[in-house]
Amino acid sequence: MLLDGKLIKQRGHDYLMEALDLPDYYGKNLDALYDCLTEREFEIELINAGEVDEDILETFRDASDENDLLKFKII
């Protein structure tokens, strides 16, 4: 799955919810993002990472460290 940092910056959690097919109960905050990322299998590649706040990148990295089924790569 390819995520675009420019769209994350523009649309935030709405974009992440749609792009990652997160559940309707997704709380649209970093704690909720972390929880969702650690509960499912994802293979995520991020482009335009320079557009994304470091807090979001850290959430992806931390979730990847916690969940062996989450592959996160900046390209």
6 pLDDT band, cuts 50/70/90, is very high
Neighbouring residues of 6: CB distance < 8 A, sequence distance ≥ 6: 48, 51
Q: What was the pLDDT predicted at 14?
A: 97
- What is the chain's alpha carbon radius of gyration, rounded to the nearest angstrom? 11
| pLDDT tens-digit readout, 39-67 | 999 999 999 999 999 999 999 999 999 99
* Token pair for 24: 């309707």
State the DSSP string of 25-75. Answer: T--SSHHHHHHHHHHS-EEEEEE-GGGS-HHHHHHHHHHHHH-TTEEEEE-
Q: What was the pLDDT predicted at 4?
A: 98
Give the residue extent of every domain in the chain: 2-74
CATH code, 2-74: 3.30.370.10
